[in-house]
Amino acid sequence: MQKREVVVIGSGVAGMTASIYLKRAGIDVLVIECDAPGGQLNKSSSIENYPGFKFIDGPTLAMNIYEQVNDLNVDYLFDKVVEIKNSNDKRIVKTAKEEIECDYVILSTGRTSRMLNLENEKKYIGKGISFCALCDGNFYKDKNVIVIGGGNSAVEEALYLANICKKVIIVHRRDKLTAEEALIEGINKYDNIEILYKTNVLKYNGDDNKIESVTLDNGNTIDVDGVFIAIGYVPINNLIDVKKENGYILVDDNYETSISNIYACGDAIKKNTYQIATAIGEATNAASNIIRKIKGT
């Protein structure tokens, strides 16, 4: 069994930031990631609120950080963590293929898109239902799509799709959008975006291969080629039984969870603001506190 000082679970912006600080301090760190490095950054088509860049797309920012991590020779394991076992003197991180013993764990597992949980929703994922316009938007070139939601992610998805698709209908359950004003103003530049307020999708219709229409709670059925769901997120936190609130991991001022030597940062934790800048700050603090503990400073 390999042994490490610190195992970082998740290689989104939080996990990568933590690994930069740990490695530069001479700590033996392993990052475990079950998908592509970058996490949610890979879904963001335009970032305009991260200092230092007036505009940058998420995948480019993810690759920039990953390059920095690689230049430091941070060790990576591309595998899914399935469980963490904790005892007083060690922690065992179990992946699908192996077990790693370590002194400290950082949980930077982020969060994933919430689903509506309607009938046939799972069946149509990849056959008309998507959670990422940047990833799948081009499949709907010159076609009609709907975006479900009304917050920042939904409006960002709609703006991106409006450049590709024939028509984009935002279906929102409230009577006004909750996205930032700057994003909402962007909608006015497009005459192919329509907004249906106080409306919910009730049913997906289609054959075995693709969605053809959706039925709304106003009684209408509209023909669509694609449905982009952007109704919020669910934290990923099922690896160990630390204290949580509404599914989000609770941490103290040092970013330590209710279990000693297990830290958490980024979108997996309970906080007020879920952004790149906050994830980076929390990861910096979590890593720095672990470094202080290891070095006894």
Ligand X SMILES: Cc1cc2nc3c(=O)[nH]c(=O)nc-3n(C[C@H](O)[C@H](O)[C@H](O)COP(=O)(O)OP(=O)(O)OC[C@H]3O[C@@H](n4cnc5c(N)ncnc54)[C@H](O)[C@@H]3O)c2cc1C
Catalytic site positions: 132, 135-136
Nearer to ligand X, 37 or 216 (CB): 37
- Residue from 84, 266, 290, 291 touching ligand X (CB under 6 A): that is 266
* Three-state SS sequence of the chain: CEEEEEEEECCCHHHHHHHHHHHHCCCCEEEEECCCCCHHHHHCCCECCCCCCCCECHHHHHHHHHHHHHHCCCEEEECCEEEEEECCCCEEEEECCCEEEEEEEEECCCEEECCCCCCCHHHHECCCEECCHHHHHHHHCCCEEEEECCCHHHHHHHHHHHCCCCEEEEECCCCCCCCCHHHHHHHCCCCCEEEECCCCEEEEEECCCCEEEEEECCCCEEECCEEEECCCEEECCCCCCCCEECCEECCCCCCECCCCCEEECHHHECCCCCCHHHHHHHHHHHHHHHHHHHHCC
- Residue from 2, 35, 70, 254 touching ligand X (CB under 6 A): that is 35
- Residue from 19, 39, 165, 183 touching ligand X (CB under 6 A): that is 39
267 lies in the site for ligand X, by CB under 6 A? yes
99 lies in the site for ligand X, by CB under 6 A? no
Nearer to ligand X, 29 or 216 (CB): 29
- The stretch near ligand X (CB under 6 A) out of 41-49, 116-124, 161-169, 255-263 is 41-49
- Residue from 19, 103, 109, 124 touching ligand X (CB under 6 A): that is 109
User: Least distance from C-beta 135 to ligand X, angstroms?
Assistant: 10
Residues 3-22, interacting with ligand X (CB under 6 A):
9-15
32 lies in the site for ligand X, by CB under 6 A? yes
Q: What is the separation of C-alpha 258 from the centre of its chain, rounded to a whole number of angstroms?
A: 23
- The stretch near ligand X (CB under 6 A) out of 65-73, 96-104, 118-126, 274-282 is 274-282
Q: Which residues, 6 or more positions from 148, have their beta carbon under 8 angstroms from its beta carbon?
A: 116, 154, 171, 172, 201, 227, 228, 229, 230, 231
Strands 91-95, 99-107: pairing kind: antiparallel
110 lies in the site for ligand X, by CB under 6 A? yes
- The stretch near ligand X (CB under 6 A) out of 30-38, 120-128, 182-190, 201-209 is 30-38
Residues 119-178, interacting with ligand X (CB under 6 A):
153, 156
Say how many residues touch ligand X, by CB under 6 A: 35
User: Least distance from C-beta 205 to ligand X, angstroms?
Assistant: 26
The residue whose Cβ lies closest to ligand X is 110
Binding site for ligand X (CB under 6 A): 9-15, 32-35, 39-41, 43-44, 47, 49-50, 80-81, 108-111, 153, 156, 236, 266-267, 274-277, 279
